[in-house]
Amino acid sequence: MSEEFSRTVAGHVPVLRLGDILLVTLQGDLYDSAAQQLQQDLSETIARSRVTGVVIDISGVEMVDSFLGRVLAEIAAQTELLAARTVVAGMRPAVAITLVELGLTLPGLRTALTTEVAMELLAQPVVSSRSGGLRQESP
Residues engaged in binding another protein (CB under 8 A): 88-93, 95-97, 99-101, 105-107, 109, 111-114, 117-118, 133, 135, 137-138
Smallest distance, another protein to C-beta of residue 11, A: 27
Buried b (16+ CB within 10 A) or exposed e, 9-20: eeeebebeeeee
Smallest distance, another protein to C-beta of residue 138, A: 8
Give 35 or 95: the residue with its C-beta nearer to another protein: 95
Per-residue DSSP letter, 112:
E
Give 9 or 97: the residue with its C-beta nearer to another protein: 97
Give 37 or 129: the residue with its C-beta nearer to another protein: 129
Give 83 or 102: the residue with its C-beta nearer to another protein: 102
Smallest distance, another protein to C-beta of residue 109, A: 8
CA distance 25 to 89: 9
Smallest distance, another protein to C-beta of residue 123, A: 14
Write the DSSP string, 86-99: EEEE---HHHHHHH
